Amino acid sequence: MNDPTLQYYLPRELSPRRLDRFLASGWFRTVNMLFRAKVTCFDNDICSPINIRVRLTDHVFSKSLRKLYNRNGRLFWHEIRKATITPEKEALFRQHQRRFRSFLCNSLEEFLVLTPRFDTYEINIYDEDRLVAVSYFDQGENSVMSLLGLFETGYASYSLGIYSMLLEMEYAKSRNQKWYYPGYVHESPSMYDYKLRFGPVEVYDWQSRRWLKNISPHLLPNMADHIRKKTTQLENRLTNAGVGLSKKVYLFFGWHYFNSMYEQLYRCPLPLILNDGRVVALDPDTDQFICIKWEIYVPFRDIQMTLAPDFDVSKHHTDVMRVTEIQYQTSRVTDIVRFVKETTPPMPPIVSRIFGKVVG
C-alpha cells in the first residue's frame, strides 16, 4: 500500500501504446486526465474501485448476450465514428444525470472532455432516424476503454446500454485488439455489477500490481474495507472512553492529490470530528491514526457543484478543509485514544451522561 490513495495524471500527449500501459497499470480516464484510486466516495459512504478487464482474444458472448446482440441488431442500426457532442446527446445525458452519486455533472461536455490526448470514438444507435443511444470509448493500440453509455429511458427494455458495450467489444475484436476495459466495480455488490456480465474478467490487485484471474472482485482485499474497519475500531474506543464525536464522510479528500499546491489539504475520507473541533482519523497513505486541527480552505457555498438528489448532507463534511496542526500520529489505536482523552476538556455532567458516565 505504498502508492498514494489517489493519483492523477494530465498528459501533454498520449500515444495509443502509452494508453495501453496506463490501463494495464490500473489507471482509468476521468474528464481529460487519467486517475487511479484505492478509495472514492459513493452513496454517502466510501468505496474501493476494483478495475476489471476482459481478454478478447478468446472471448465469446454468453447465449443470453448473443441473443440480445442479434435481436437488437435486427431492430436498430448503428454507426461508429469519431466522438462528437451534440444537443441530441446532451438530451440523453440529462436523462441519466441521476445515475451519478454525490454530485452531478451539469452536462455531457463537462463530463466528457474531448481532447486530442485521447482517441475517442462513439457508437450511435438509431431507431430508424431517431438517436436512441450513444456510447463513448477511447482506443489504445491494443485495447479499448469504455467511458460512458447513454440511452433513451423509454427504450430501457431493450438493454441498449449493454448492447452498446457489446458493439464496443465486437469493434475491438474486429481490430484484433486484446483487451476491453469496461471500467470498475466496487468492493461490494453495487449498481456497477452489470459490467461482470460480459464474461470472465481479470481483476486488478493493488497489492501485487497484477491482474488476477478466477477471483471475484468482491473478495479482493481493499482499502475501503480497511479504512472502515479501523475507523470503526477507533470510533468505538473513543465513544467507550466518553469522548464526544461525530463521524462524517469527507467528499473532498481527493483534492489533496491534484498537485503540490494542495499538500496542506485534509486527505482522510472518514473523519471523526471531536466536540472541541479537532479531528481524529485514519490516514490511508500512512496507515496511521492522526489527531489534527483544521480550518476551512474553501466553503462549500463557493464551490460550483450540484449535489445528487440522494446526497445526505448530514452524513458529510462539505467544506474543503486545510490542516493547520498535526498534534499526534501513531499506528496504535490505544495511543491515539489515550492522547485524545488527555487533551480533551471534561464534558459537562449533562453531556457525559449520554456516554454512560457522570463527571464528578
| pLDDT tens profile 137-179 | 999 999 999 999 999 999 999 999 999 999 999 999 999 999 9
Q: Can you tell me which residue has the cell 467528499?
A: 251
- Rama region for 241: left / alpha / beta (φ>0; ψ in -120 to 50; rest): alpha
Which CATH number belongs to the domain containing residue 174 in this structure? 3.40.630.30
Q: Please check whether residues 137 and 261 belong to one and the same domain.
A: no
Per-position DSSP letters for 238-261, written without gaps between them: HHHTT--EEE-EETTGGGGGS-GG
Q: Is residue 247 a part of any domain in this protein?
A: yes
Q: Is residue 47 a part of any domain in this protein?
A: yes
Q: Which residues, 6+ apart, have CB-to-CB distance to 290 below 8 Å? A: 268, 280, 281, 282, 283, 326, 328, 329, 336
Q: Is residue 175 a part of any domain in this protein?
A: yes
Round to whole Å and give the CA distance between 336 and 289.
7
Bridge partners of residue 250, in order along the sequence: 317
Q: Which of 175, 193, 219 is the last residue of a domain?
A: 219
Instruction: State whether residue 95 is helix, strand or coil.
Output: helix
Q: Answer for the pair 195, 182: CB distance below 8 angstroms, yes or no.
A: yes
Q: Is residue 27 a part of any domain in this protein?
A: yes
DSSP state of 3: S
Residue 66 half-sphere exposure, CB side, CA atoms within 13 Å? Answer: 6
Q: Can you tell me which residue has the cell 500500500?
A: 1
Closest CA to 254 of 92, 96, 90, 47: 47
Round to whole Å and give the CA distance between 72 and 347.
66
Q: Please check whether residues 208 and 333 belong to one and the same domain.
A: no
Q: Which of 204, 219, 234 is the last residue of a domain?
A: 219
* Number of domains the chain contains: 2
Q: Is residue 87 a part of any domain in this protein?
A: yes
pTM, two decimals, is 0.91
Q: Please check whether residues 215 and 246 belong to one and the same domain.
A: no
Mean pLDDT computed over every residue of the chain: 92
Round to whole Å and give the CA distance between 141 and 176.
10
Instruction: Express each pLDDT in 199-210 by its tens digit.
Output: 999 999 999 999
Q: Answer for the pair 183, 40: CB distance below 8 angstroms, yes or no.
A: no
Q: Please check whether residues 198 and 230 belong to one and the same domain.
A: no
Q: Please check whether residues 157 and 258 belong to one and the same domain.
A: no
Q: Please check whether residues 257 and 199 belong to one and the same domain.
A: no
Q: Please check whether residues 210 and 330 belong to one and the same domain.
A: no
Q: Answer for the pair 289, 17: CB distance below 8 angstroms, yes or no.
A: no
Q: Is residue 360 a part of any domain in this protein?
A: no
Q: Which of 219, 240, 264 is the last residue of a domain?
A: 219
Q: Please check whether residues 23 and 79 belong to one and the same domain.
A: yes
Q: Is residue 79 a part of any domain in this protein?
A: yes
Q: Can you tell me which residue has the cell 459513493?
A: 42
Here the cell at position 360 is: 464528578
Round to whole Å and give the CA distance between 108 and 195.
22
Helices (H), the chain: 16-24, 63-75, 87-95, 108-111, 160-174, 223-240, 333-343, 349-352
pLDDT at 1: 46
Full 3-state SS string of 161-225: HHHHHHHHHHHHHHCCCCEEEEEEEECCCCHHHHHHHHCCCEEEECCCCEEECCCCHHHCCCHHH
With a cut of 50, list the residues of the chain below it in pLDDT.
1, 355, 357-360
State which amino acid sits at residue 234.
Answer: L
Residue 351 belongs to domain spanning: 223-355
Q: Answer for the pair 9, 27: CB distance below 8 angstroms, yes or no.
A: yes
Q: What phi and psi, each to the nearest 5 degrees, are found at residue 185?
A: -115, -175
For residue 9, the surrounding DSSP H or E stretch is strand 6-9
DSSP state of 134: E
Q: Which residues, 6+ apart, have CB-to-CB distance to 226 below 8 Å? A: 284
Q: Please check whether residues 191 and 262 belong to one and the same domain.
A: no
Q: Can you tell me which residue has the cell 487511479?
A: 36
pLDDT at 348: 63
Q: Please check whether residues 201 and 229 belong to one and the same domain.
A: no
Q: Is residue 1 a part of any domain in this protein?
A: no
Round to whole Å and give the CA distance between 10 and 8.
7
Q: Please check whether residues 63 and 183 belong to one and the same domain.
A: yes
Q: Please check whether residues 183 and 294 belong to one and the same domain.
A: no
